[in-house]
Amino acid sequence: MVGFYVAATIVTLVQFLRAREAKLLLLLALFAGQALALSREWWDPWKDALQLASGAAGLALVLILSRPGVRRP
| Domain coordinates in residue numbering, the chain | 2-66
* Between residues 70 and 55, the one the model is more confident about: 55
Global pTM reads 0.82
Is residue 12 over pLDDT 60?
yes
Query: What residues contact 37, with CB distance under 8 A and at least 6 apart?
Result: 46, 47, 48, 50, 51, 54
Residue 14 zone, left/alpha/beta (φ > 0; ψ -120 to 50; rest): alpha
34-53 pLDDT, tens digit each: 999 999 888 989 999 999 99
* Between residues 14 and 70, the one the model is more confident about: 14
